[in-house]
Amino acid sequence: MSFQSIQSTIRDVTFGDHVTIVEPCNLYECQIGDHCFIGPFVEIQKGVIVGNRTKVQSHSFICSLVTIGQDCFIGHGVIFVNDKFQQGKPAGGDPSKWQKTVVGNHVSIGSNATILPVTICDHVVIGAGAVVTKDITEPGVYAGNPAVRLS
């Protein structure tokens, strides 16, 4: 029996000042702003930008092409998606078929939410377990599957 073991790693990351990382985590070729917190078992992929004073809780996955603003909170187990399977199957390693996500400033995303490729404006709360499938252009509280504005 043969196998390949790949260790979690932190490589080629641009860190701001006073960043806290709780390992194990997998961060590579991304940017983490000042005074950020990254919890354990988090993966942040190539090209992601995390703004100042943002907290990312444990077990969250932030894929390539995601930008997160300042003063944000990403709850436990939040998943960002950049591949919408538009051709009925995964795009795989073809980044030309991936789409970007932009999260504004002062956005809180509850635990186990799923964020598809969208733009989320400033001052938004996404409820736990929500599935965000469309752009959010008005501040407020959003929840459900698909996520809708509650207030």
Token representation of residue 3: 């196998």
Q: Which residues are catalytic?
A: 59
- 3 state DSSP class of 34: coil
Cβ atoms 102, 85 nearer than 8 A: no
What single letter denotes the amino acid at residue 61? F
CA–CA gap between residue 105 and residue 120 (Å, rounded)? 9
CA-closest candidate to residue 34, choices 21, 45, 19: 19
